[in-house]
Structure 1
Amino acid sequence: MSENANRAGAFPAAGRKLRLGVVGGGAGAFIGQVHARGARLSDRWQVVAGALSSRPDVAKASGAEWGLDPDRSYTDWREMAQAEAARPDGIDAVAITVPNHLHFPVAEAFMDAGIDVICDKPLVNTLDEARALIEKQRETGLVFGVTYAYAAHAMVRQARQMLREGAIGKVTQIHVEYFQELALLPADAAWSGTPWRQDPAKVGGAATTADIGTHAHHLAEFVSGLHMTELRAEFHRLGAEQPLEDTAFMTCRFEGGVPGTLLISQAAAGASCGLRIRISGTEGTLEWDQENPEYLHHRPFNAPHIRISRGHGAGVLSDAAHFIHMPRGHPEALSDAWGNLYEEFAIAIEARRDGRGLPEGLLAYPGLEEGAAGVAFIQAAIRSNALGGSWQSCRLADQPEGAGL
């Protein structure tokens, strides 16, 4: 089948380009610009407003660099929420890219203003905050997306659908790892742009676990379709001196008693962005490596191994086909995954605002429930490490009221 023969995976066309506001992202902040670029790449958004910094001079200068109308370049996100809600051409959604401890108040303010929310991970710093946002979403019906962008790679969606369709039989074990080397640098160099990442007052009781561990946790649950139920964790500081952990090793159990491991470190010399997942079942194994995202490895039991490459046809399934924009052999990578994620957010938000339903299973973007599960995971890991590596539940429903980082 030719690359152009199968376009059945295309999403419905956009009715209009949605208007996005961004909180955070000024002065060259990395993640805010990643959000904005992903939104633009999806071709379903225009970035029209922002409160890009808490410093008024930086907010105004950054707004000018982003090409924002000066009237919509705000110095305070509270003012932005109120002003945009009152405009006939106000933003359709806000992207929250500020430090972790501000996620909750910013999200709450925009939800109170009736504006859909797209929030960076981890969702919030406490379980009570996560529960409050879930309740507010139930009251308002707003769309709330969480940017676990690795889940929007085409081959991740391929793996997820293959598992659901029984390609490797019954899942028997799940392993995920995420290794980087950043924390080997002196703290002032490692976190020069984001010093808050090692500030317990802003990220609480976990650093690397909240930063990259939440990605590993979400990827394991997303691909396998199984929720992590409990874990035991051991935190380490293996890099430059800093107040919180840069490494964590965890043994996990998923629904149905499926065992697994989750290994993370930001002090692994020579590692760049080594996020990898391996899921084995009774009839085979699936493996994916985000540094080589174009390929999914299917290793059937006692049979030749299969390498599936991104592109239309040749075994690529419908969930992956939504996210194929270039012919096979023309690489797509993380920037495309961000665009894919923002495309899903746009479809959901446009449908909500137009009062339209969507076909069941059309979208699989991470939302509030997934974000809250990430917070519960962090809390369980912190408790387990503090208690000498004991088993702790990571189910949100099992977490005590008032628990926080």
Structure 2
Amino acid sequence: MSFTDKSCLRTPPLARRQRLGFVGGGRGGLVGDWHFAGARLSNHWDVVAGALSSRPDNAVASARDWMIPPQRSYSDFRQMAQVEAARADGIEAVAICTPNWNHAEIAACFLKAGIDVILDKPMTTTMADAKMLVALQRQTGVSLTMTYPYAHHAMVRQARAIVDSGLLGTINQVHLEYLQEWNCGAQPVDTAVWRQDPSKVGRSSIVGDIGTHAHHLLKTMTGLDVSDVRADMFVCGGRKPQPDTAHINLRLSNSAPGLMHLSNATPGQYCGLRIRVWGSGGAVEWDQERPEYLKFTPLEQQEQTFVRGVGNGVLGEAERLVHLPRGHGEALTDAWANLYAEAALVIAARRAGRQAPAGVRLAGAAEGLAGMRFIDGCADSYEAGGAWIKLQHDE
């Protein structure tokens, strides 16, 4: 499958579906449902094993929900890695859908077992653990995929193709926001109490939880890195141990300025991840609550709205991710499916000793580490009273 191939990404180019296991993601959590739905909808995976919960009763019930055989429902991820690695029909990849503080230990266990890892963001809670995973991934040669699903919407790829074509000219400034309302009360909702615990989420709950999505979307859409950050953080919804809001100034790798606004304490905002990119030749604007539309405004020309579909100006890189005609809605589950389809192509190619197909844009260990650098840089800046902090790119 080439960069310009317009065939549906979910049309299986593989001889068979890959075998996938899960750690975490059982009953009571949305994240596991998204991963599971994406894997199944991609048409590239069979979910055959899992250690789905630290609670044995929930693990058994969740395995039954997902039709995982009882003998491949595990009470411990270490046992799962050991047993599955030894089976002739063992899993080829594991999706890790646990809370942040478990990521490093679980991912390391499966990398050492030779099982490819699909890891929910953020990569870990500390830079030391993130660097350990990067080193281990390089040492083992096993792939590590980070799950940033928004980058797998067709119109995000359309925007990147417009940038790559030069139609935006030189990128002069970028504005991002990610606004939610779930954390407005005096106390966080019961299922998210851990998101306010520094020992479990790392140095910044708000940047680690949703800021990493915005950071990765910026790189995906523009191709530019963030070189420097200056962050102010606030508690805007009740009394909490960690800020629920961040205002972040960015300096991009081409020296252009950027601005990021993050909050989960903004009433009336649901899942408002939005990005606007302004260049010397025009602008693009995308809103994940209206993911099928991309606004493109060439300088001093009539603005255009691209609608997800085939033809009518939708470019080849975006068409690869399109599955339904216009008017039949595609949304976040389709983005997850595109992510899992691309992950299957990369993992199957690695296991067969081939190069990954051209045109795949999949976040790996390096992107996971970059996300951790962004979290730490924002935390450093906030703790230093809003000082500019340079992000290191030495790996």
TM-score (norm 1): 0.94
Report 1:189-268 matches (<5 A).
Answer: 190-268=188-266
CA distance in 2, matches of 1:220, 1:338: 18
User: Cα offset for 1:176?
Assistant: 0.7
CA separation of 1:223/1:300 partners in 2, compared to 1, >3 Å: closer, same or farther?
Answer: same
Equivalent position SS for 2:183? helix
- Matched with 2:114 is 114
CA distance in 2, matches of 1:307, 1:296: 6
Q: Does 1:366 align with 2:363?
A: yes
CA separation of 1:274/1:284 partners in 2, compared to 1, >3 Å: closer, same or farther?
Answer: same
Count of aligned residue pairs for this structure pair: 390
Q: Tell me the C-alpha RMSD between the 2 structures.
A: 1.4
| Runs of 4+ off more than 3 Å | 9-12
Report 1:346-361 matches (<5 A).
Answer: 346-360=344-358
TM-score (norm 2): 0.96
CA distance in 1, matches of 2:391, 2:331: 31
CA distance in 2, matches of 1:194, 1:62: 20
**Contact in 2 for aligned 1:191/1:197 (Cα 8 Å):** no
- Matched with 1:98 is 98
**Contact in 1 for aligned 2:202/2:208 (Cα 8 Å):** no
Deviation string, structure 1 residues 271-308 (Cα, Å, up to 9, x no partner): 00110000010010000000000111001111110001
- Matched with 2:296 is 298
- Matched with 2:315 is 317
CA distance in 2, matches of 1:39, 1:191: 28
Report 1:119-138 matches (<5 A).
Answer: 119-138=119-138
User: Cα offset for 1:7?
Assistant: 7.2
CA separation of 1:367/1:315 partners in 2, compared to 1, >3 Å: closer, same or farther?
Answer: same
Residue type of the alignment partner of 2:360: L
CA distance in 2, matches of 1:396, 1:75: 39
Question: Which blocks of at least 5 consecutive residues in structure 1 are unaligned?
Answer: 1-5, 399-405
Residue type of the alignment partner of 1:225: G
CA distance in 2, matches of 1:256, 1:324: 31
Q: Does 1:333 align with 2:331?
A: yes
**Contact in 2 for aligned 1:178/1:263 (Cα 8 Å):** yes
CA separation of 1:296/1:223 partners in 2, compared to 1, >3 Å: closer, same or farther?
Answer: same
Residue type of the alignment partner of 1:219: L
CA separation of 1:10/1:62 partners in 2, compared to 1, >3 Å: closer, same or farther?
Answer: closer
Q: Does 1:52 align with 2:49?
A: no
**Contact in 1 for aligned 2:172/2:280 (Cα 8 Å):** yes
CA distance in 1, matches of 2:72, 2:367: 32
CA distance in 1, matches of 2:391, 2:293: 31
Residue type of the alignment partner of 1:72: R
- Matched with 2:28 is 28
CA separation of 1:169/1:9 partners in 2, compared to 1, >3 Å: closer, same or farther?
Answer: farther
Residue type of the alignment partner of 1:231: V
- Matched with 1:378 is 375
**Contact in 1 for aligned 2:125/2:203 (Cα 8 Å):** no
Equivalent position SS for 2:254? helix
CA distance in 2, matches of 1:371, 1:161: 23
Residue type of the alignment partner of 1:23: V
Deviation string, structure 1 residues 285-336 (Cα, Å, up to 9, x no partner): 0000000001110011111100011111111111111100001121101110
Residue type of the alignment partner of 2:276: R
User: Cα offset for 1:359?
Assistant: 4.0
**Contact in 2 for aligned 1:372/1:396 (Cα 8 Å):** no
Equivalent position SS for 1:118? strand
Equivalent position SS for 1:182? coil
Question: Which blocks of at least 5 consecutive residues in structure 2 are unaligned?
Answer: none
CA distance in 2, matches of 1:260, 1:171: 10
User: Cα offset for 1:195?
Assistant: 2.2
**Contact in 2 for aligned 1:286/1:296 (Cα 8 Å):** yes
User: Cα offset for 1:174?
Assistant: 1.0
| Identity between Structure 1 and Structure 2 (%) | 47
**Contact in 2 for aligned 1:228/1:395 (Cα 8 Å):** no
CA distance in 2, matches of 1:195, 1:119: 21
Residue type of the alignment partner of 1:310: R
CA distance in 2, matches of 1:9, 1:26: 34
Residue type of the alignment partner of 1:365: L
- Matched with 1:402 is none
CA separation of 1:335/1:102 partners in 2, compared to 1, >3 Å: closer, same or farther?
Answer: same
**Contact in 2 for aligned 1:173/1:260 (Cα 8 Å):** yes
- Matched with 1:401 is none
